[in-house]
Amino acid sequence: MKRQYAVLGLGRFGSSVAITLANLGQDVLAVDNDEAAVRRIADRVTQAARADATDSEGLKSLGIKNFDAVIVAFGPDMQSSIMAVVLLKELKVPYIVAKADNELHGTILEKVGADKVVYPERDMAYRTASMLTAHNIVDQIKLSKEFQIAEIQPSAKLVGKTVGELRQGAKNYLYVYGLKRNKDILIEPRPETVIEKNDVLVVLANLEAVKNLESD
């Protein structure tokens, strides 16, 4: 279903989010106070506008409260991102996502009304370091302090086992919700599905279970 998104701040992160949403077929309004930034993205999104996202009247003129979600993607300007979230909350925007540069920034954004806080640099650093140190992990996304989604290439010890055996052998929470095989993707593979050498397992698991898969 097509939804409407507004992205405030068109630096590297904001521009990437706006373009990706547009490529996924969503309606996207891209907003920045820099005319050059607006021009650069204008032909990649539904609409681009120059406006001050820390000005209530400017946000109202964009019809910001009518969007399904607004992403506050400012750079290191902590004060501006906090002000934007406060104004969006006052304008009753249904869902607010805000970019934070550090834990303190993120905590403040949550307290003033952000529904979701993201840490792009920290999360990318974690994913990169994890892939470098765990050779059989293709990719992973940390969902919380305890759980993550990971794409894992099975080690020699796992090849030949069934998905059911993998679940039974896990000492911690582990759910295999996908298996990539050649060009096919098996959603929620059956317990009797045998794991093959070139498969990629897509699992939802706690951190300890993923570590155990790495060492198997």
| pLDDT, tens only, 42-94 | 999 999 999 999 999 999 999 999 999 999 999 778 999 999 999 999 999 99
CA atoms within 13 A on the CB side of 24: 13
Integer Cα distance of 178 and 16 in angstroms: 27
Integer Cα distance of 216 and 174 in angstroms: 14
With residue 69 as reference, give the H or E element that holds it. strand 69-72
Q: Residue 197 burial (CB < 10 Å; 0-12/13-18/19+)?
A: exposed
CA atoms within 13 A on the CB side of 15: 14
Q: Cα angle vertex 105, ends 103, 109, to 5°? A: 115
pTM of the model: 0.66
**pLDDT of amino acid 71:** 97
**pLDDT of amino acid 52:** 95
Query: What domains can you pick out in the chain, each with its CATH number?
Result: 4-118 (3.40.50.720), 123-215 (3.30.70.1450)
**pLDDT of amino acid 184:** 86
SS3 21: helix
Asked whether the predicted pLDDT for residue 170 surpasses 60, the reply is no
Lowest mean pLDDT among 72-76, 86-90, 117-121, 123-127: 123-127
The DSSP output letter for 30 is E
Q: Which residues pair with 149 in a beta bridge?
A: 141, 204
Q: At what angle do helices 78-90 and 103-112 cross, to 10 degrees?
A: 20
Lowest mean pLDDT among 90-94, 150-154, 186-190: 150-154
